[in-house]
Amino acid sequence: MDMQIELEKRVLEIEEILKQYLPREEGFQKTVLEAMNYSILAGGKRIRPMLMQETYRLFGGTSEIVEPFMAAIEMIHTYSLVHDDLPAMDNDEYRRGKKTTHAVYGEAMGILAGDALLNYAYETAAKAFSMEPGNEAVGRAFFVLAKKAGIYGMVGGQVVDVESEGDASISKEKLDFIYRLKTGALIESAMLTGAILAGAKEDEQKMVEAIAGEVGLAFQIQDDILDETSSLEVLGKPIGSDKKNQKATYVAWEGIDAARAEVERLSAAAIEKLHSLSGKNAFLDELLRYLIHREK
């Protein structure tokens, strides 16, 4: 399998799905619609919708019911990046090699674009209810999507992350909490939603959530490593921002070598669990390895 070719093929497929659900840039509120679409279409690996789609396929899913959820989770992820880049947060001017939303449209419109993307994500996911009326899995998937993006998921992790800036005495327990919620929750949401929509059994859903949790933690630790070792040209965003903002990271806590060892341990555990499932998806297997060990 040529991973790069397979990735590009799936990204193009996801891009087409996203475009079907983007708002039209018209009306008096046109500026915020333009800012939303700019943010979504600024590039990216489309990791979360890809993980959702591939997990859906892992359990035999074949319908289009997953597509509004795929678009929705990418909108949620993008809103979080838009807000992350704001002056009050990381104050970054580049994302994915392009100017960030607030750098192009101004801080106020950056805030509103993020708000709009979050709301529009739920509006988009809700379209699945009318696609398959009576499908109880849609409601369960919608609940997972909402919960893991909120105060018991991504937002909760971000809160603790912001409050912990400059705290040299942060505990390992708190750092794990931040990573598992801030980054891991949306990856859990993506894979668990795919499993639910495909009709996976409850024990299979729990296994998928555990796999996604390990992948999410490894993914964020690898992000820490890249922030120390990569470059703007390769990464597509400024490096050293964690150190600049005095953020606690695995690299700061354990050093790069230990952080790399933890990435290896987590990735091995995730792959072992994936292989224990009855369904098989060779691309998903390779995708998890690729994401965890990525260079950008």
**pLDDT tens digits, residue range 202-241?**
999 999 999 999 999 999 999 889 888 754 444 454 555 5
* Domain that residue 81 falls in: 3-292
pTM to 2 decimal places = 0.92
CA pair distance 200, 64, nearest whole angstrom: 17
What pLDDT, on a 0 to 100 scale, did the predictor assign at position 245? 52
Query: What integer pLDDT is reported at residue 234 of this predicted model?
Result: 43
Least confident of 20-34, 35-49, 164-178, 180-194: 164-178
CA–CA distance, 126 with 69 (Å, rounded to integer): 8
C-alpha dihedral, 23 to 29 to 30 to 32, nearest 10°: -70
pLDDT given at position 250: 84
Q: What is the DSSP string of 184-244?
A: HHHHHHHHHHHHHHHT--HHHHHHHHHHHHHHHHHHHHHHHHHHHH--HHHHSS-SSHHHH
User: Stretch 238-266: mean pLDDT, rounded?
Assistant: 76
Give 15-54 pLDDT, tens digit per residue.
Answer: 999 999 999 999 999 999 999 999 999 988 999 999 999 9
Domain count, the chain: 1
Minimum mean pLDDT range among 162-176, 232-246, 281-295: 232-246
Residue 247: pLDDT band with limits 50, 70, 90: low
The C-alpha angle 162, 41, 153, rounded to 5 degrees, equals 30
Residue 234's CATH number: 1.10.600.10
